[in-house]
Amino acid sequence: AQKVTQAQTEISVVEKEDVTLDCVYETRDTTYYLFWYKQPPSGELVFLIRRNSFDEQNEISGRYSWNFQKSTSSFNFTITASQVVDSAVYFCALSEEGAQKLVFGQGTRLTINP
């Protein structure tokens, strides 16, 4: 069965600090995709990244970076030099090969204080 766990319910940091959001997943498939989405107060889920199960290279996009480790079934997300605009709820999600749905974690509410 598919499952995504985001153990951190809420995180609060001061602006310019680095922060890492944890994501642990469970799947029996060898082929799957992992995603991160951002949900600002407006409610719309904004796509951030997609990573397939065969690509364990870390990825960096500006202040954002992602660390995918199959050995620990984790796909963690780091924001460097956080900004107030990064405040949102962040969701990690999993989709198995051939599946018609995303399975989301419960989300981590990130608050960046000025």
Partner 1 sequence: GAGVSQSPRYKVAKRGQDVALRCDPISGHVSLFWYQQALGQGPEFLTYFQNEAQLDKSGLPSDRFFAERPEGSVSTLKIQRTQQEDSAVYLCASSEGQGAYNQPQHFGDGTRLSIL
Cα atoms in the 13 Å half-sphere on the side-chain side of 72? 10
Contact present, 7 and 90 (Cβ < 8 Å): no
Smallest gap, in angstroms, from Cβ of residue 74 to partner 1?
17
Amino acid at 41: P
For residue 59, is it left (φ>0), alpha (ψ between -120 and 50) or beta?
A: beta
Least Å from the CB of residue 29 to partner 1: 10
Region 20-59 residues binding partner 1, contact defined as CB under 8 A: 32-33, 35, 37, 42-47, 50, 52
Does 3 help bind partner 1 (rule: CB under 8 A)?
no
Contacts with partner 1 by CB under 8 A lie at: 4, 32-33, 35, 37, 42-47, 50, 52, 91, 93, 95-107
